[in-house]
Amino acid sequence: MKIVKEIYSQAFFRREELMKPYAEVLEIDEVLLPLPSEVQQWTSRQYVAALRHDDSGKSYNPHFRQLLHVGYKIAAEMGKSCHDALVRLDEFIAPDVMGNLYDRHIQPLFME
């Protein structure tokens, strides 16, 4: 959780820079972004609930999610430490990523 909270914190404070190249397609209301100090207090369940694309979830925050998407640049800047965490936590991360890709992207395009 430490790394993902750090990515969000940096993305929050660098949001203008990160959002600029995608300004035409992003729909981020900065007022609806949680403060990094708030996110630092979240449990992993709270973080995932805000992040997971579930329109019916009361905790889902599309503004938070979009900022994290453009914040992948920060993860890349973290280099080996972020990569190593992804490898170490693959068994927990991969099912959600694959489910999201399949359910939200592949299935609607090719199976319906």
- 28 and 74 share one domain: yes
C-alpha to C-alpha distance for 63 and 47, rounded to whole angstroms: 13
Percentage above 90 pLDDT, the chain: 71
The domain total for the chain is: 2
- 86 and 58 share one domain: no
- 18 and 59 share one domain: yes
- Could you tell me the pTM of the whole model? 0.86
- 6 and 31 share one domain: yes
- 33 and 85 share one domain: no
Averaged pLDDT of the chain:
92
Q: Which residues contact 33 (CB under 8 A, 6 or more apart)?
A: 12, 15, 61, 63, 64, 67
Tell me the mean pLDDT per 10 residues along the chain, length 112. Answer: 95 98 96 98 96 90 97 95 91 83 82 72
- 50 and 85 share one domain: no
- 57 and 87 share one domain: no
Segments forming the whole domain that contains residue 30: 2-78
